[in-house]
Chains A and B, each alone.
Chain A
Amino acid sequence: MAAESAADLPEEVRSWIEKERYTEKTTFPIEMGYVLTTLSATQNGNPLYWDEKVAQEVTGGPITLPTMVSVWFRPHDWSPGRTEPAVPLQLHFDLKAKLALPEAVMSDNTIIFGEPIRPGDILTTTQILYSVSPLKTTKLGTGRFWDFGVRTVNQRGELCAEERYTGFGYNRS
């Protein structure tokens, strides 16, 4: 259940609430290279990811680590023709800009996992804003909390993950 939003929001921001935005596909098919790098980075020896026989028996073939769901949508640091750095979670950055709150932190992150993501999958995400709070003052500064989500489906339309974020955009005290 989304919290009620502040009454003093700009009309444009208000129009974003509960609307799907930034529906986008992954820029490359899901692959195991980043999975192996993540396993190495976390010294994770789970045979589900290292042993093809175990993967076949348990998950019907290789899968990616569930917590990597957001990895597949982070833009490359550089790509041809782009003059500005691309950012993940564009909705979060739109809110910072439209609400004139230049600083922001993420406080809470929830991920609910669905169908496993497999190498070769093509994923699609959609970002949805659920609520924006009235102005509040914390030890960081004065700003607003916003609650938004990212829904990820695979090429068959199966739900792979629902992520929920709480951000706080603010001006420093």
Chain B
Amino acid sequence: MAANLMLSDVKEGMDLPILEKAVKPVTVVLGAVASRDWRPQHHDYKFATGNNGLDDIIMNTPNLAAWFERYLTDWTGPKGRLGRIKFRMKDSIYPGDTMHFAGKVTKVTPGAKGTAWVDVSIELTAGAKQCVGCVARIAVPESPEANPWKLKGDDWKP
């Protein structure tokens, strides 16, 4: 976990640090339970392979959203405030895969009260598989005194 990222640390076109995580069956099952997702393709190997034609149980979408959030706030520190996130599922993630998160800053724009919006594009891959494409907008402070979490109403329009 980084200290709080400041706007001065951010440049358009810069790469975010890579995050890699090996996926085990417990990674999938724990993520599904944490997100209250009881659908069998996330915990039942026979169902996933027999009924759904998958190779194994698969990571569920809400938990992947939480992984993207973790990837972003690892970079920004606790003052980074997620404004919006959009993702498109392309392929499944299975136990045995290694998730590889790679992000790039695409745009930086002024925000309210000493904050800025940072747009980031992230690709989640596993080996040769392009699994999830994601774009996110996260607010960061311009100075140690600023705090995106204090923005409300018209000051918070992500």
Contact = CB atoms under 8 A, between A and B. Distances in A.
Contact of B1 (A42, A47, A71): A47
B66 A44 contact: yes
A94 to B, nearest CB: 18
Interface in A99-115: 105-115
A113 B35 contact: no
A70 interface: yes
A67 B38 contact: no
A67 B82 contact: yes
A60 B36 CA distance: 27
Contacts of B89: 105-107
Interface stretch (A1-9, A15-23, A33-41): A33-41
The interface size bin for chain A is: 35 or more
A115 B151 CA distance: 9
B84 A113 contact: yes
A115 B83 CA distance: 10
Contact of A46 (B35, B70, B156): B70
Nearest to B149: A59
B149 A114 contact: no
A135 interface: no
A79 interface: no
Interface stretch (B7-15, B26-34, B110-118, B120-128): B26-34
A59 B62 CA distance: 23
Contacts of A114: 156
Interface string B61-88: 1110111111001100011011111111
B96 interface: no
Contacts of B38: 74, 77
Interface string A55-86: 00011100001111011001001000000000
A112 B117 CA distance: 14
Contact of A67 (B65, B156, B158): B65
B37 interface: yes
Given A42-B67, A66-B69, A106-B89, A74 B149 contact: no
B84 A67 contact: no
B35 A68 contact: yes
Interface of B: 1, 21, 27, 30-31, 33-38, 61-63, 65-70, 73-74, 78-79, 81-89, 147, 149, 152, 156, 158
Q: Which 7 A-B pairs have the closest CB atoms?
A: A48-B78, A74-B36, A44-B70, A37-B34, A67-B65, A110-B86, A38-B34
Interface of A: 34, 37-38, 40-48, 54, 58-60, 65-68, 70-71, 74, 77, 105-116
